[in-house]
Every structure is written in structure tokens, then in C-alpha cells.
Structure 1
Amino acid sequence: MPSSVPSAVPSAATARLASQPLTRSFTALTSQVRTAGLLGRTRGFYALVFGLLLLALGGIATGVVLLGESWLQLLMAGALGLVLTQFAFLGHEASHRQIFVSGKANDRSGRILAVGFAGLSYSWWMTKHTRHHGNPNQVGKDPDIARDTVSFHEADAAAQRGLSRWITARQSYLFFPLLLLEGVNLHFKSVQSLLQRGPVKGRKLELAMLGVRFGLYAGVLFWFLPLGMAAAFIGVQLAVFGFYMGGTFAPNHMGMPIVPADAKLDFLSKQVRTSRNITGGIWMSALMGGLNYQVEHHLFPSMPRPHLRAARAMVREHCRTLDVPYTETNLIRAYHSVLAHLDRVGLKARDPFDCPAAGNMRFG
């Protein structure tokens, strides 16, 4: 059921009329999924993935030692960026209670994976991501579409000023270059969130873990490699990490309908209409950490990665029966939709006296 043009969010009146039958139908779908055993844990799968990632880390460390003072070390840096992103995917899955039955066990493993390996604050991620899952693409409620360097809806684009306005006007063209800085941004926001005022769960532990991680990582590199080479190694690793992370999460919701702040939608409609699946089967699932099944992930956040594919068939049929738009496309078309959306939004930040011929060269 491929789709490249998202269906509009229904009006509040229509949503209220449809919400009760859709709510009852989702209860039936949940029962079907549970009966099929798709909510059961797959600890063997996650143990295998974790073991393979540890082996990959060991291989990278061996490569760094064998290469010595060679600029080929930047290949190791790129590989490290990829592997650390995969650890971040596992941390994301632990935060959703996908790995263990116990919430405490998931939190402990999630904190180790996110903070110790990926270098991201687990408490910051949990707070932000929980809000996103509750209200995906909803103005004022989803932190993932809040105004930042990139604007996701017209009102924010029109409100940008100065350099931010210049970037927003060209954000469809700058999107991929900006992703190269996303790794730095994620690390900065992690530390910033832990240093902010007010209660932060696990603040001291995470600050200590981040300090040890960054200290050991930078210390070993600058001890083993020349100054410039070590700095370049860290730069490449951060660029690959940010590009991979941002490039994986971007197709999930960007370019899908934006939900008005006052809209009231039932759970099924809210999650399905704002999410996009990416085709590609098992290889795409490995590449994206299971996030290619974004619709199913949002409907059943605690479902382990290996079960999402089987749930997809049930959810697609359920949505077809209820005439709820189910969006699924390949990665290239998904990125085209993302860039086209950013381009449309960016128009609101453009100078109205810009050359009109530029409009003929835009994404569409």
C-alpha cells in the first residue's frame, strides 16, 4: 500500500465521530497481536546483536592499533560512527521495554547502551522521546517538530529571524550537510539537559558516565595518534554518527501530516497517519534498527524488533478495512517527501522579492 502523499488530518468533528469505533477496533487488533505472541521478548536476538556489535568494536580497536599513524584511521573513525549508532538503536529499544520484561533491567541496559556506548543522556532521551510518542507531529506537543535550526511547519518558518531565517529558507538543500553536525548537537543537548535546573533522574550517574566515556575515548586517541589525526578521527566519527542517526529518524515522520495543537485524534489514527514505513525487508530493518516499521513501532512501542515485520501484515489489513491511510514507501521516495516538505515550509522564510524563477527549481 505505497503512498508518497500523506492524507490530511481529519477535522475535529470527524475525528470525534470516528474515534469510538476505531478505539474498539484497536483493542481487537492488540488482542490479535498478543495472541500471535508478537509482544513476547526475544532476548536471544538482542544478545546476538549486542555480541556482534562488541566484536565490531574489537575489530575497530584492532584496526586502529595496526594502522598506527596513518590517515587510513579515518576509515576506522567512520566505522566507529556506524557501530555507535547501532548501540544507540539498542538503547532506544531498551527505553521502550523491548529487550527485557523488567522495567528496571531495561533502564539499566538502556543507560549503559545510550550513555556508556553512544554518549547520549538516557534521561534526556526518555523524556523527549516519550513526549514524541504520545503526540507525534502535533504542534506544541511533539518536541521533535519544535522550532530549531530546521523548521517543520510554516508558522515556525515565518517566525525565524537572522541567520536562522536564512538557513530555513534553504533548509531542503542544507538538510544533509546539517546532519553532519547532528552528532555534536546530540552530545551537547545531552550534557545541557543534565546541567539544567530542576530534578533530572540519574543526573550524577550519567554525568559521571559521560565524563569517563569522553575522557577515555579522547585520551586514548590523543595519546596514540598525532594531535591533528586524533582530532580528525573524532570529527569524522561524530559526522558519521550524526548523519546516520539523523538520516534514520528523518523519514519516520517528516513530510507526514502535521497535527494542529487543538486536534483530538484517537490513538490508532494519530499514530498511523503521522508515521511512514520504509520498505526493504530484513536488510532495511538491520540498517535502521527496526525503525523502518515505524507504524507498527508507534502502535506497539514495546514490541521487539524481530516481531515488527509480522505485525505489519496485521496492521496493514486492519487499516485497509477501516480506510485509515497507511503510508509505506522506499527510502529514496521517503527522502524526496522529506525534502519536498522542508522546501514547502522553507518558502515561508524566503524574501518575497527573491527571484521567482527559483521556484521552478524546487523539490516537488
Structure 2
Amino acid sequence: MGSKSKDAVYTRREVEALIADGRTIFVLDGYLIKADAWLPYHPGGDKSIKHMVGRDATDEVNALHSTEAKERMKSYRMGRIEGRWTNFVPPIQGGKFRKLFPEESSELDNTVDISEAEESTLESSEEPSPIFEPVEAPPTGSPYQRKGTKLIQSQPSSASISSIDLDDTAVEPKLSHFDARTLEEIELDLSKYPSLAPEVQDDIVQKYRALEKRIREEGLYQCPYYAYYLECCSYVALFALSMIFLRYGWYTTSGIFLGFLWHQLVFTAHDAGHIGITHNFHVDTVIGIIIADFCGGLSIGWWKRSHNVHHIVTNSPEHDPDIEHLPFFAISHRFFKSLRSSYYDRVMAYDGFARFLIPYQHFLYYIILAFGRFNLYRLSFEYLLGGQAPRKGPAWWHRWLELVGQAFFWTWFGYGIVYKAIPTTSGRLAFVLASHIASSPLHVQITLSHFAMSTADLGQGESFPQKMLRTTMDVDCPRWLDFFHGGLQFQAVHHLYPRIPRHNLRRTQNLVIDFCKDVGIPYAIYGFARGNGVVLGRMADIGRQAKIFAECQRVVATSEDLGMH
């Protein structure tokens, strides 16, 4: 394929061939962005970009990036597209792409575009919408093809489904129990949410973007700095109380107040990580490093890398690190298949330990989350010492500042308090456990908004706003409890517009509710107690499925031992 100018029009087939050659290309505001050179330097990590390859990433980019960052992206334009873009499944999600055949290459070099009729004759290596939809004919772009009364999967999808009978609930022998359940979940979502027809999703996107403009005009992106002044006063008070009780030997009480401080500090670190305080990338990053690394021993860089992916592929068992907690938790039956995590680049083995724990996960939920902070220390060090942090580009020095912050934290906390200030082993243990358990409500808040929501994959045809609202719920609470939840109770709003300062999310919520009514998307909101009940019910249901799965495996193994094939 010959070189083209930055204003040249590319066809979908040409873009497919470029991606097949290993190029990192996505669509932004009608332009093709080639991000290969930027991939190693992206402050938010390479995974979030890889999930956008072959897709129109306009809404994701707008949600997660500042105006300055989007301006810099213009220098990576390689051409443009015309008309509505039909998304590919990104390679990181299992999408496969064909290179150009010699005859295609010569034809495409001499033309700017090809007609829809010509493109329809080119068999795509990976169709854009891995969904099942019980309609008279498979939807355009679906990986399912009709064979009699069945839809047969002809293209790979993250759901790994084979077929389903359209006349009855019966399925082919090749279709496992879990594949059938996956299809049931997809069908349920398709019945509850707006159609995936392009015109419907385009209307949702246009109204979502219009709402963003209204939010900006109403000043909801402006940070209320006075609120942070009040919170800083509470931070100082909590730390002072912790030190006072430490001085008088009340080690458990001292630890509890320190845990309360960590719990509150994370809310501000979360804002800084989303560039939601000063809206300056480096300033907010430094604020985040001071809070997360220096004060809390956690890496803000690790959090950004993980959290950006979470915001793009929310609640995807194969791709979202925020729900990948085997062997301790499984919020979908699909984890029983030992899925490969695209984030961790490893198979999440559903091994003997997982088979033992998962049936009881609803009983262990709060106990395990109470010790979640210890795992965050591990992940932080893996990020800072394991080569995941950017070594070049605008964020090259962030890692070094974080390492200084880690040294500072473990000096004042590990050596200064735990080792030097507390004379007994029992006192040290009480202080450490109390401080870490007291901060654990944060982990409950984070999981609460996603663990009970859909994990079904509706394909690349689903719009960004619909996917966010389908996989995220809000927690309802009185205004006077906002300090406890720290804005994390407005997760559905936050996922739509991540850079809105959390103090403005309550006002934004009313606008989002009106938007949902307008476009017909259900808005999930529960009270805190009810939300916990829904999550525990979901985990109990998955636990029961795990027991059934284990029993089936035992029966099959016994039958094979007896020669009963």
C-alpha cells in the first residue's frame, strides 16, 4: 500500500490491513490515529490504547483525556475516514486481521475509497459485534450465521459461544451449560437495554455528547477548591488523633484513625488520578503521588494503568483487572473456564484453591476485602519495579518520584511507627491490622458498583455510554454521608464523565438520570444496604454454580473411571 497524506481517506479494509501489519490505529473525531510511537510512553499504560485498536475511540478518549492531551494527539493523525465507522474487535481482545492480498494492494493504491458493494465482497477476518441476538436474521456485523433454526458462531468472540437453538431453549450438545448461561445473560441485557442498531446507538452517542457540553457550560468541570480545604482540615485532624492515641499506647485506636485517614485520602488521590483537581496533568499527578505513595504506600501510576483499562472494558471478565480476583472471587461463571487475562497476560487458573473458596465467597467477601490493602502494596511494587511504568516520555520522572515516595512511606510508617514507636509485637500487629481493616470500606465501595452488574459482552456495536451504564450502578445515600462515600457512590455518573470533580457529581447525577430517561437506558441505583445485599446475592449465585460445576466434574470423572464414556 502506498503512502498517503494525513488528509487522505482510508477504507475499513485498508485499516484492517495496517492493523494486520502490527500498527496501533484507532479512530478519533473522524481521523485515524497511529499510536505506535506513543505506546511505550503513554502515562496511562499501553493496555488502554490496545483496547481501542480498530475502534472509534472518540468517546473514550474524550472522557479520559484533557483538552491539551487531545491536541497533542493531532500530531499522530495518519488520515481520515468517511461515514460511520464500524468497529473491529481489537487484537488484544482476540480480533484477527487480514493483510492485503497482492491484487487488493494494487487496486487500493490507485483509489481513495471503494464502494460498500465492493467492501461487502471482502470477507472480513473479524466482524465487529460479537453478540447473540434472537432475531429473524443475524444483525449486521454479528459473528453468528444462521444454520437452519440455529445461530452458529462463525467468528471468535470473548464470550466463546458456539450456538443456540432459536425454536427452543435446547442447545446443541457442543454448547456447554456455561455457554448457554452466557447467552441467557446476553439475551437478558438485549431485552432490557436499547437496540444495538447503529441508528439507535448513534442517537445515544449524540445525546451523550450534548449532555457533556451542557455539563461543561454549567461549570461542573470546575473544581470547588474550598471543599478540598475543608477535607484537608479533616485529614490533619485524623492524623493528629492517630498520633495522640499512639503516644498514649492505644495502638488499636491509633491504627483505626490512621485507617480512616487512608480511606479519606484515597478520594482525593482518585480525583488527582483523573486530572480532576487542577486539570493540569503534572500538577495533579504530583498531588496523587504525594497522597498515594508518600502518605499511603500505594502507587498512583499503577492505579492509573489499571483504572484506565477498567474505564474502557468495564466488567469484562477477560479484560477488566478490577473484577479479576481469582482464586478469591468470581463474579461470573465464565471464570470457571480459566480465562486468560489480557491485563495480567496470564491465565487466571480456576484451580483447586479457587474451587474450594468460590462456593463460599459470599461469606468471605468482607473478610477478604479487609486485607485488600496488602495486595495493593504488591501490585504497586510490581508496577514500579517490574518495568510497567513509562521510562521515557512526559511521565518518565513520575516513577522516580514514586520510588522516593515509597521509601518515605515505609520509613515513617514501617520503621518510624510500627518498629520504633510500638515496643511490643502484639501492639505492632494490632496497629497494622486495625489501620488496614479500618480502610477496607473503600474496597467495599469500589466493588459494590460493579460486582452486581452485567458482565455480558454485547459486542463492538454497543456505544460507550450504554456500556458504562449497563455495567455500573450508583449507591444512593443522604447528602450528609457524602464524606463517607467520597463521590464513589456516583460511579455510573463518574464512568460517563470521569474528569468531573467528585464534589460536583451529585449535581451531575440529576442530568444523567434525565439523559437515561430520554434514551431509554435503565439507571441502576441502590441504597448502600440494598446494594450490599444485591452483591452478596450475586456472589452466592455464582458460588452455587461453582458447586454444581464441581459436582458435574466429579460425576464425569467417576463415570470415566468406570469406563462409562
Answer whether TM exceeds 0.5 for this pair.
Answer: yes
User: Which of 156, 180, 186 in structure 1 is aligned with 2:376?
Assistant: 186
Partner in structure 1 of residue 448 of structure 2: 251
Output one character per residue of 1:287-341: Cα deviation in whole Å (capped at 9) or x when no partner. Answer: 1110111111111111112211111111111111221100111011101111111
Which structure: greater helix fraction? 1
Aligned residue in 2 for 1:205: 401
Native 8 Å contact 2:313 2:320 kept in 1: yes
The aligned residue for residue 304 of structure 1 is 501
With over 3 angstroms needed to count, the CA separation of the structure-2 counterparts of 1:308 and 1:146, relative to structure 1, is same
Aligned length: 345
The whole-number CA distance in structure 2 between the counterparts of 1:94 and 1:16 is 37
1:67-99 Cα shifts (integer Å, max 9, x gaps): 23xxx3201111111111111111011111111
Q: CA deviation at 1:269?
A: 0.5
1:195 to 382, 385, 388: 385
In the aligned structure 1, how far is the partner of 2:187 from the partner of 2:364? 27
**Which of 430, 444, 447 is residue 232 of structure 1 equivalent to?**
430
Matched-pair contact (CA < 8 Å) for 1:43–1:100: no
Question: What is the rounded CA distance, in whole Å, between the counterparts of 2:187 and 2:504 in structure 1?
Answer: 27
TM-score under structure 1 normalisation?
0.88
SS in 1 for 2:189: coil
Find the counterpart in structure 1 of residue 195 from structure 2: 14
Distance in 1 separating the partners of 2:275 and 2:228:
12
Q: Which is strand-richer, 1 or 2?
A: 2
Q: Distance in 2 between matches of 1:146 and 1:218?
A: 29
Structure 2 contact 296–409 (Cα < 8 Å) conserved: no
Alpha-carbon distance, 1:7 to partner: 10
Contact 1:38–1:307 (CA<8 Å) still a contact in 2?
yes
Partner in structure 2 of residue 150 of structure 1: 329
Matches within 5 A, 1:42-121: 42-65=224-247, 67-68=248-249, 72-121=250-299
* Letter paired with 1:76: S
SS across alignment from 1:293 = helix
State how far apart, in whole Å, the 2-side matches of 1:252 and 1:283 are: 20
Q: Do the aligned partners of 1:255 and 1:338 also contact (CA within 8 Å) in 2?
A: yes
User: Quick one: structure 1 residues 343 and 264, their matched pair in 2 at CA, closer, same or farther if it must change by over 3 Å?
Assistant: farther
Moved over 6 A (4+): none
Cα RMSD, aligned residues only = 2.4
Contact kept, 8 Å, 2:289 with 2:405, in 1: the verdict is no
Deviations along 1:119-149, whole A, 9 cap, x unmatched?
1111100000011111211232321122522
The one-letter code of the counterpart of 1:157 is: F
Query: 8 Å contact 1:138–1:261 — kept in the other structure?
Result: no
What is the CA distance between 1:116 and its match in structure 2?
A: 1.1
Is contact 1:39-1:303 (8 Å) kept?
A: yes
Which residue of the partner structure matches residue 334 of structure 1?
531
Q: Structure 2 vs 1, CA of residues 353 and 259 (structure 1 numbering), >3 Å: closer, same or farther?
A: closer
Query: 2:414 maps to which residue?
Result: 218
Counterparts of 1:335 and 1:346 in 2: how far apart (Å)? 16
Question: Residues 7 and 257 of structure 1 are in contact (CA less than 8 Å); yes or no, is this contact kept in structure 2?
Answer: no
- Residue 344 (structure 1) aligned with residue 541 (structure 2): yes
Aligned counterparts of 1:123 and 1:94: Cα–Cα separation in 2: 11
Pick 1 or 2: higher relative contact order, CA cutoff 8 A, min separation 6.
1
Whether the 8 Å CA contact 2:259–2:435 is kept in 1: the answer is yes
Question: What corresponds to 1:268 in structure 2?
Answer: 465
Equivalent AA in structure 1 for residue 334 of structure 2: A
Cα separation, partners in 2 of 1:16 and 1:104, compared to 1, 3 Å: farther
Q: Contact between 2:266 and 2:292, CA under 8 Å: does it hold in 1?
A: yes
Q: Does 1:133 align with 2:311?
A: yes
Give the aligned partner of residue 362 of structure 1.
none
Pick the aligned partner of 1:322 from 515, 519, 524.
519
Task: Report the Cα distance in structure 2 between the residues aligned to 1:180 and 1:139, rounded to whole angstroms.
Answer: 23
Give 1:49 shift. Answer: 1.1
> Unpaired runs of 5+ in structure 1?
1-5, 355-364
- Greater displacement, 198-207 / 149-158: 198-207
Distance 1:98 1:197 in 2: 27
SS in 1 for 2:469: helix
**Does structure 1 retain, via aligned residues, the 8 Å contact 2:455–2:471?**
yes
Q: Closer, same or farther in 2 for the Cα pair 1:189/1:171, shift >3 Å?
A: same
SS in 2 for 1:352: helix
Distance 2:266 2:258 in 1: 12
Show the counterpart of 1:287. Answer: 484
**Cα distance in 1 for residues equivalent to 2:282 and 2:522:** 36
Moved more, 257-266 or 299-308: 257-266
Q: How far does residue 50 in structure 1 lie from its aligned partner after superposition?
A: 2.1
Q: CA 1:262–1:26 in structure 2 vs 1: closer, same or farther (change >3 Å)?
A: closer
Deviation at 1:352, TM superposition (A): 1.9
Check whether the contact 1:8–1:257 (CA below 8 A) recurs between aligned residues.
no
Distance across 1 between alignment mates of 2:507 and 2:545: 42
Percent identity over the alignment? 23
Q: CA deviation at 1:220?
A: 2.3
Q: Which has the larger radius of gyration?
A: 2
Q: TM-score, normalised by structure 2?
A: 0.58
Judged with a 3 Å threshold, the aligned counterparts in structure 2 of structure 1 residues 326 and 177 are, in CA distance, closer, same or farther, namely same
**Cα distance in 2 for residues equivalent to 1:92 and 1:113:** 10
Distance 2:366 2:529 in 1: 14
- Segments of 5+ residues of structure 2 without an aligned counterpart are 1-185, 339-349, 391-395, 554-565
Instruction: Tell me: CA distance 1:353–1:260, structure 2 relative to 1, closer, same or farther (3 Å).
Output: closer
C-alpha separation in 2, matches of 1:197 and 1:52: 36
Letter in 1 for 2:195: T
